[in-house]
Structure 1
Amino acid sequence: FHKAHYSLDIAKCIEEINQTEDQGFTKSVFIEGKCYEILAHHLRQYVDDASPSEKRTILRQSTVVKIENAANIIDESLDQAPDVLTLSKKVGLNQNTLQNGFQSLFGLSVKEYSQNKRMEKARHLMENTNLNITEITYRIGINSRSYFSKLFKERYSMSPKQYMQKLETTKKKDDTTAI
């Protein structure tokens, strides 16, 4: 019944049991201790399951898979990343579970995760293409250059223009040392 629906803590205990290198009596005592730990986690999960779904705090493995799927959707479609409601429907989770899951797994909200990925892609495009700032802004799914500049400056402590100038200076230095 609980296959893939047990908590991450239970999954960790099962993994530790499977990976133990202890032998004989030590192994038996270790496994017995882990079984008690799994029982405690099951009881905690039972109480959590009795709560309304939006108030549950324990992440299940099946939920983690859906949250990772949501992260992959964001990663693959930065230029048109879906909003939280659309994303939650795509992966089959409610919005609260999705937000709480992102917070647990990545330490970020869905919006913050998406913005971070966009800024990373923007920096990558600046370093590896000849696109101008406006083209990069649209390529990462932001329609306002000033908003992009604000986000970029918050993340990298310099404006996109300053970053491009810094890259240009570095390239010139590399070219002169190569000669």
Structure 2
Amino acid sequence: MALTISGHACEALFEVMLEQSQYVDPEDEMDVVVPYPSELGSGQVRVIELREELHLEIEYYQQYRDLVVSYEEQQNHVRVGFHLSGFHRDSLVTVCPGEYALSGSGINPEGTFNSLAIEPVREVAFYISTSHIQSFFGELPLALQPLIRPLDQISFAQTYRTTPAIQVILHQLLQCPYHGILKRRYLETKVWELLLLAVSPLLIDSEALIKPSKKLKSEEVDRIHAARKILLQRLDHPPSLMELARLVGLNDRALKQGFRACFGTTTFGYLHQYRLDQARQLLATGDLKVEEVAQQVGFSNRSYFAEAFRKKFGVNPGDYARQQRQWR
């Protein structure tokens, strides 16, 4: 049975543990390790204040039981959390191993924070103030402006797969060879590198939307979006590229090039990713068996579905379904 506590009670437990914190680096009093509360599990949280408005946390702990923390509406800073292991869910996002959560400033609505005890939690996270973000970027790109929302609006929050490039930077950060001021500068550099990589999906999505207006006529863009609509309407029996091109009044080459320009992938690739996203949603919210979900989203071969799901989300569909049922 899960342990359910209030956010205030959880904060009180960590405040007690702050009194037992220890310095990691004798040359840096802003680098401390805080023991994980013994009432909840075992482990530690390393907290490094790189600047007044830039904090880095390295968490590693094992809970005794699944944990449910109820919290009131609260204001967020920009935060990026990379999950090396462990499963978390709150009112805005669900994060699995091999994923990272990118969230912006604004409001995190009242809800619950859920953390499963099936494996240790290992996470690298950093918090940055909006003023520090704006100072770093200068004029914030349009695609990144959802990260900076007023304090009366719901925060932007999304999860993405951790790329190999991000994994390299995380490894370098965790294996930092320096102490004192060199360590702080090294870690700060790695944090900014991670931030740039973490926000790249937003920039790529923005470029995909901008490119068609420069290279394609508005009529062609409309036809390509019509092709996308047909694909999703015929999820069970999608048309071939030739048939789809005929249905929207384009030749197959124009459709192929235009679709990639608009959506950043091929028609088959888009359909494949959409099916997997639908499967994840069905596994998270329903009680269907894996075979039933696979068939419902258009996969006739369970083994192929399981392999594709694992490749995209880093977990087997059966394991993912069981994790979600524990949260319901």
TM-score normalized by the length of structure 2: 0.34
Structure 1 match to 2:276: 119
Asked if the contact 1:78–1:117 (Cα under 8 Å) also holds between the matched residues in 2, the reply is: no
Gaps of 5+ in 2: 1-213
1:142 aligns with 2:304: no
How far off its partner does 1:106 sit?
A: 0.8
Greater shift after overlay, 57-66 or 98-107? Answer: 57-66
Structure 2 match to 1:69: 226
Aligned AA (1:153): R
Asked if the contact 2:279–2:294 (Cα under 8 Å) also holds between the matched residues in 1, the reply is: yes
Q: Say which of 262, 267, 292 aligns to 1:110.
A: 267
Aligned AA (1:119): L
Q: Distance in 2 between matches of 1:132 and 1:169?
A: 15
| Structure number with higher relative contact order (C-alpha < 8 Å, ≥ 6 residues apart) | 1
Gaps of 5+ in 1: 1-56, 172-179
Structure with the bigger percentage of helix = 1
Q: Say which of 243, 248, 253 aligns to 1:96.
A: 253
Q: Distance in 1 between matches of 2:271 and 2:319?
A: 23
Q: Distance in 2 between matches of 1:150 and 1:89?
A: 33
Q: Distance in 2 between matches of 1:125 and 1:80?
A: 19
Aligned AA (1:82): P
Aligned 1:154-173 pairs, distance under 5 A:
154-171=311-328
Asked if the contact 2:284–2:325 (Cα under 8 Å) also holds between the matched residues in 1, the reply is: no
Number of residue pairs matched by the alignment: 115
Q: Deviations over 1:29-52 (max 9, x none)?
A: xxxxxxxxxxxxxxxxxxxxxxxx
Aligned AA (1:89): R
Asked if the contact 1:118–1:140 (Cα under 8 Å) also holds between the matched residues in 2, the reply is: yes
Asked if the contact 2:294–2:302 (Cα under 8 Å) also holds between the matched residues in 1, the reply is: yes
Structure 1 match to 2:287: 130
Asked if the contact 2:224–2:255 (Cα under 8 Å) also holds between the matched residues in 1, the reply is: yes
Asked if the contact 1:102–1:110 (Cα under 8 Å) also holds between the matched residues in 2, the reply is: yes
Asked if the contact 2:309–2:315 (Cα under 8 Å) also holds between the matched residues in 1, the reply is: yes
SS in 1 for 2:236: helix
Q: Deviations over 1:83-135 (max 9, x none)?
A: 21221111111111111111111111111100111111111111222211111
Q: Deviations over 1:50-96 (max 9, x none)?
A: xxxxxxx9311111101000111112221222221221111111111
Q: Deviations over 1:6-47 (max 9, x none)?
A: xxxxxxxxxxxxxxxxxxxxxxxxxxxxxxxxxxxxxxxxxx
Asked if the contact 2:227–2:248 (Cα under 8 Å) also holds between the matched residues in 1, the reply is: yes
For the aligned residue pairs, the C-alpha RMSD in angstroms reads 1.5
Q: Distance in 2 between matches of 1:128 and 1:80?
A: 25
Asked if the contact 1:70–1:91 (Cα under 8 Å) also holds between the matched residues in 2, the reply is: yes
Aligned AA (2:226): N
TM-score normalized by the length of structure 1: 0.60
SS in 2 for 1:88: helix
Structure with the bigger percentage of strand = 2
Q: Distance in 2 between matches of 1:161 and 1:115?
A: 19
